[in-house]
Amino acid sequence: MNNAIYMDNNATTRVADEVVAAMLPYLNERYGNPSSMHTFGGDVAHDIARAREQVATLLGCHPEEIIFTSCGTESDNAAIKGTLTMFPEKRKVVTTRVEHPAVLTTCRDLERHGYSVSEIGVDRAGRLDIDQLGFRVDDNTAIVSVMWANNETGTIFSVDEIAELVKARGAVFHTDAVQVVGKIPLNLRDSNIDLLSLSGHKLHAPKGVGVLYVRKGTRIGTFMHGGHQESGRRGGTENVPGIIALGKACELAMRHLDEENTRVKALRDRLEQGILSTCPDCFVNGDVDNRLPNTANISFEYIEGESILMMLNKFGVCASSGSACTSGSLEPSHVLRAMGVPFTAAHGSIRFSLSRFNTEAEVDFVIEKIGPIINRLRELSPFVPKAAAR
């Protein structure tokens, strides 16, 4: 077994033991094709129906509104492109500058194909100006896609309010809820959200399974032509073990929602406070009053996030940085840049994202190690101004 201190749960999560146990029989015992006429396959179709109900219960919607996909990225692509095919006369998409690349690069590709894309900015705390968004939604707008919570900072957007506004202007509203499912309570029945994406591997199910929620009556084109699976909207033989796993993970998430917002949140706060009080010249990124309970994004001045990560890694601590290493050049996070975080501070940012599998002892271990790491890196940094050198 590995003994990593895993604090990178917004990247992916450990598959829960109960989830592994639930999915295993579908690899070697219950391997029938759910479309088959015989009972061996029919039983599996029945089990998929149960998984669909488990997902719907967590989202607060009807099981028929759940379409299983392969991941969050597929769901995001399907939502946007599937909507555009149904409204060929509308040529505009509205989104935000801080979306995940699954949405942003999809929109930028659409721009290359003649669509107009409006990207709404955020303020220094990562908050969205909803009035500004409202101004951009016009008769030509087919779909508005706004994430529910940001994967880097954890900042939560008021998607219910946005959905209402978008509906009033006659466009379809999609939200990328990949980071919120299982972390905050959801009730889609009481909202105006038309389409919602989620991803199994962010909530203790395995990689390779996701969901697109499609509100009853929402017009969306077929996004995978083939068989009749998923009401004909997404053909292809189902990823049965993945779907069963996701159902189980949703059932568990429902049970652990309170814990996410109490124990996990308290661990995150302890970690954040511990770091802020140990390390000078660092600050939290994001809307601290309106954040996912598990996420802390902290900028450390004068040093590179990558260097901090490497030193944490030596102690078995896994987190992630606000930079993406692309072909040798370190680009600071588009999210932090959109928020106006100065270039150097964006470079020195680290995201810690916790889960119910973290412990207080792990948090205290990180707090103990980080001070000396930051001091050591600053001693080596040419960017520390003399007044700040300690």
Strand partners of residue 227: none
Q: What is the three-class DSSP state of 95?
A: strand
Query: Which H or E element spans position 164?
Result: helix 159-168
| Cβ nearer to ligand PLP, comparing 74 with 301 | 74
How many amino acids of this chain bind ligand PLP (CB under 6 A)?
A: 14
Tokens read off for 45: 């179709």
- Residues 312-351: x/- map of binding to ligand PLP (CB under 6 A)? ----------------------------------------
Q: What is the rounded distance in angstroms from the CA atom of residue 44 to the CA atom of residue 36?
A: 9
- Residues 147-186: x/- map of binding to ligand PLP (CB under 6 A)? x---x------------------------x-xx-------
Among 73, 118, 323, 333, binds ligand PLP (CB under 6 A): 73
CB 350 within 8 A of CB 321: yes
Least Å from the CB of residue 341 to ligand PLP = 19
Least Å from the CB of residue 70 to ligand PLP = 8
Least Å from the CB of residue 140 to ligand PLP = 26
Q: What is the three-class DSSP state of 39?
A: helix
| Cβ nearer to ligand PLP, comparing 60 with 101 | 101
Which residue's Cβ lies closest to ligand PLP? 72
Q: Does 260 bind ligand PLP (CB under 6 A)?
A: no
Q: What is the rounded distance in angstroms from the CA atom of residue 31 to the CA atom of residue 269?
A: 44
Judge whether 61 counts as a catalytic residue: no
Burial 118-145, CB ≥16 within 10 A → b, else e: bbbebeebbbbeeeebbeebeeebbbbb
CB 17 within 8 A of CB 363: no
Q: Does 71 bind ligand PLP (CB under 6 A)?
A: yes
CA distances (Å), origin 92, targets 76, 143, 223, 310, 336: 16, 7, 19, 43, 26
Largest Cα–Cα distance of the chain, in whole Å?
77
Tokens read off for 311: 């030193």
Binding span for ligand PLP by CB under 6 A among 21-29, 71-79, 89-97, 118-126 = 71-79
Least Å from the CB of residue 76 to ligand PLP = 6
| Cβ nearer to ligand PLP, comparing 191 with 295 | 295
Least Å from the CB of residue 209 to ligand PLP = 9
Which residues between 95 and 124 bind ligand PLP (CB under 6 A)? 100, 102
Binding span for ligand PLP by CB under 6 A among 38-46, 70-78, 111-119, 188-196 = 70-78
Q: Write out the E strands in 232-313.
A: 282-285, 295-300
Q: Which member of 279, 282, 318, 325 is catalytic?
A: 325
Q: What is the rounded distance in angstroms from the CA atom of residue 193 to the CA atom of residue 199?
A: 17
| Cβ nearer to ligand PLP, comparing 7 with 102 | 102
* Phi and psi, residue 276, nearest 5°: -65, -35
Q: Sign (positive/negative) of CA torsion 238, 242, 244, 247? A: negative
Tokens read off for 84: 């555009």
Least Å from the CB of residue 251 to ligand PLP = 20
Least Å from the CB of residue 177 to ligand PLP = 8
| Cβ nearer to ligand PLP, comparing 148 with 302 | 148
User: How many other CB atoms sit within 10 Å of the CB of residue 360?
Assistant: 12
| Cβ nearer to ligand PLP, comparing 119 with 138 | 119
Q: Are strands 320-321 and 349-353 parallel, antiparallel or unpaired?
A: antiparallel
Q: Does 72 bind ligand PLP (CB under 6 A)?
A: yes
Q: Which residues bind ligand PLP (CB under 6 A)?
A: 71-73, 76, 100, 102, 147, 151, 176, 178-179, 199, 201, 210
Q: Which residues participate in catalysis according to the annotation?
A: 325
